[in-house]
Structure formats: C-alpha cells, structure tokens
Amino acid sequence: MQWERPKQLFAHIALTYQGWQENVLLSIDDSGNISDIEANATPPEDVKTFDLLIPGMSNVHSHAFQRAMAGLTEATSGNSDDNFWSWRQVMYLFKQRLTPEHTEIIARHLYVELLKQGYTSVGEFHYLHHDADGKRYKNPLELSERIIAAAETSGIHLTMLPVHYETSNFGGIPANDGQKRFVHSIDDFLKLVESLKARQAKAADMNLGVAPHSLRAVSSESLKTLMQALPRLDMADAPVHIHVSEQVKEVDDCIAWSKKRPAEWLLENAPVAANWCLIHSTHTTLDELKTIASSGAVVGLCPTTEANLGDGIFQADEYLKMGGRFAIGSDSNVCVSPWEELRQMEYAQRLATRRRTVLCDENFPSVGFNLFLRATTGGAQALGIKAGMIAPDCRADIIALSVDSPMLAGKNLDQLLDTITFIMQQPPITHVWVAGKCVVENGEHKCDADSKNGYQNVLCQIIG
C-alpha cells in the first residue's frame, strides 16, 4: 500500500525532546527520520498545520490472534478460582481453530486499531508457529509471514519477536497438547531466527528480536545456547523479551525447581541488559526490582491484561523511584488503547496505596505527562528502534491531536495529556505518521473497510 510521506509538518504546539514548544516546523528526510526541528517558526504556505504533535507510542507486547478472543473468557468456567491458568485453557482451544489466513486478517485488523489509538510500533510476541496438529508448515515462516504481511498492509512498524517454547514447566517437563503449535527444539528455533533475519532485509519496516517465552517454557541450557548464538546471527544487541513472574504459581514452581524466584534466577544467570524487556514482572521483590533498574532493562507492563487475568499489581511506585524504565503492551488485546493502559497503571497504584497522583515526582508533577514520556522512550528502547521522541535523527513516528474538544478548553500543556489520559474515552487523534508516512488521516485508515469486513467474516467462521 502506498503512503504519503510529507517533507514537513507544522504544529502550533509540539512535544519535542526539548519539552513543549510552540509553532514548530518539522522536516522529514527520505528515510522517514526527523532531520530538523525549528521552533517559533512561520508556517510555509504549502505545509499542513496541526494543533498538537506528540511522539507515537510503542506497544511492546502483543499476541495478535488473541484479539479475536476478546469477550469469550468473561463467564465463569464453573471453577471458583478462575485465573490465568483457566483462561489459558480457553486460549489453547481457541487457537486450534486458526488458519494462516485467519491469523493475517486478525493481525491486520488489530494493527489498524492500534494505529488509530496512537500506537506507531508493535512488538509481536509470536509463538503460533505450526498447524493445529503441531506439524510444521512447508514454509516454516508461514505464520510469521502472515504477521509481517499484516504489519506491512496496515503500515505499523513491526518488531518481530519469534518465541522459543519447548517445555510446559520448570525442570524440563514436556510440552502438553495445548502447546503443540508453539514448540521448537533450540536448533530448529535458531534456524527460524536465521530465516527471519534473511526475511528482515526484504520487509518494509521491520526490526527483529527474540523471545525465550519464560523460564518455565525454556530450559536453562536452551536459554544459554540462544544467548550464545545471537552474536553469530549479528543480533548481539537485538531485543530480548521474556515473561517473568507473571503469576504466583510461576514463582512458587520456580522456587521448587531452583530455590530461587524467577526474576532472581534470570538476573543471576542471563546477561540481562538494556536490550532486554522483562514482561509483567508482577510478583517481583524490591531487591529484584532494584537489580532490574540498575541493569538498564525495561519492564514491559500490560496493565489491562494483568487486570483482566487477575494477575496482581506491579510495584510501579517503588520501581520508578529506583529509576526503573518501563513500557506498555496490549498483550491479550482486550484493550487497544495506550491511554487506557496508562490510566489502568496509575489507578492500580491508587487502589493499592489508597493515594492519588502516585506515579509522578517533583520533576514531573503531571501523572499523564510523566507516564506518557516514560512509556514512549521505554517502549522505543524495548523494541530496539530510535523513536519515542520528536528529536533530530529519530524516526518520524508522530501523532497529531485536535484541541477542539470542550474537554480540553482552558487546559495548560501538561493538563492536555492528563485530560486525554484520564478523562477522554476517545483520544482526539486526527493523523498518525509511521517513519514519516501518513497511515491515519482525519481519523481514518485506508484499510478501514477491508479490515472491518475481513475481521467480521473471520469471527463468524471461528466463533459463530
């Protein structure tokens, strides 16, 4: 699909790397990066003018196919202790119905939704590799190609995170039938990564990382082998994403296996650094959080999914005081709004501490501004892209918002982000640019009709 890439954009107000600035003229080069920023400028006659420009948001953790499950797991299973593990059984049954065509159509629709809400990049934690019987497709990249195609059609930036999955629990317990679409040997997984590395060169806008699923799903030997292989694949600094300490049972099982908690074991036995993203980290101790913060790694939080599954509440207040970095993700995709993720993140802290305005400090007294700024920069770091700021040499991943809403009248600049984050149900997004290409214009995406129709047809096939 062809996208317009303007050479310049002008905004009455823009949130740049130097803070809020007025009458800002942005120049965009042919590679989609910001080449120049001029504040207090006069708008050229042939350049579009916008009310407000802010950086695009990175979604660091998505399982695209689970968007089609939304609404199917909200009734009791008859078990008085419904939790992540009972939800997982529903997910295992659901993914058996998906064909490669279904996978692409669902992902395309999701990515269009994400773009219209202000996400400009997505980290796809992709573990659906084989057919419903666990057999390899003739093309081992069959389902990966479907995700790549969905990203290219929608225009979103993709950081592909192929998932290594080999066991069902700590200590090498074999994978069960529900996991047979996920499983690789470490040798086969490295071949998959090599193939994706070659495919990356042909993709429109794709970065590549790896995702050892979790300590319960990947043996310590395979994790070590994977880390040793990355330099050979020219991926020494590539993003590494892993689920950590999401549920209490996971923590208990890890202690029974190793006499250590998951985050504790990982931090002692893996080269956790700034290119790592530790997903969830819900049940981590303060000592573990301090070590994570000092490592430079990013914690990938998925507040609406964590709430939906009843996982628990991450100790965000203490972690941010330690200088910890975080990003947000949509995970199970029951929510496609970054604003709702940030809102849920703050509200969970308020409920836990019985205080208001928790996730802010003296330097950033505005909660909305503080969370937005940290999430954009942390998200770009976690996906391995130079983005998250409107700054020279950064990707032109940008959101335009209208300030015409009565809800925004009379608000100062920080209060605009507070109001959009905490008060408005639908953010007033008018345009979205990914690497300088306009993928949402006047609130609409070129794929809206096809995406909607295709998605509805798939849902009728697999649910109806």
The shares of helix, strand and coil residues in the chain, as percent rounded to the nearest 5, are 40, 20, 40
The whole-angstrom distance between residue 387's C-alpha and the CA centroid of its chain comes to 14
> What letter represents residue 2's amino acid?
Q
Whole-number Å distance between alpha carbons of 60 and 199: 21
In the chain, the N- to C-terminal Cα span, in Å, equals 31
CB atoms within 10 A of CB 411: 16
Residue spans of beta strands (DSSP E) within 329-457:
398-401, 429-434, 437-440
Nearest to 110 by CA among 360, 461, 454, 463: 454
Partners of 19 in beta bridges: 16
Pairing of strands 173-174, 167-169: antiparallel
Which residues, in sequence order, are CB contacts of 252 under 8 Å at separation 6+? none
Query: CB-based contacts of 86: which residues, under 8 Å, 6+ apart?
Result: 77, 79
What is the CA angle 5-113-128, rounded to 5? 105
Measured distance CA(428)–CA(408) in Å, rounded? 10
Strands 276-280 and 298-301: parallel
Relative orientation angle of helices 367-383 and 413-422, to the nearest 10 degrees: 80
**Residue-by-residue DSSP string for 7-69:** SEEEEEEEEETTEEEEEEEEEE-TTSBEEEEESSPPPPTTS-EEEEEEEPEEEEEE-GGGGGG
Active site residues: 280, 331
Confirm if 214 and 244 have CB atoms less than 8 A apart.
yes
CB atoms within 10 A of CB 337: 21
Q: How many residues does the chain have?
A: 464
Cβ(327)–Cβ(300) below 8 Å: yes
| Positive or negative: CA dihedral 451, 452, 455, 461 | negative
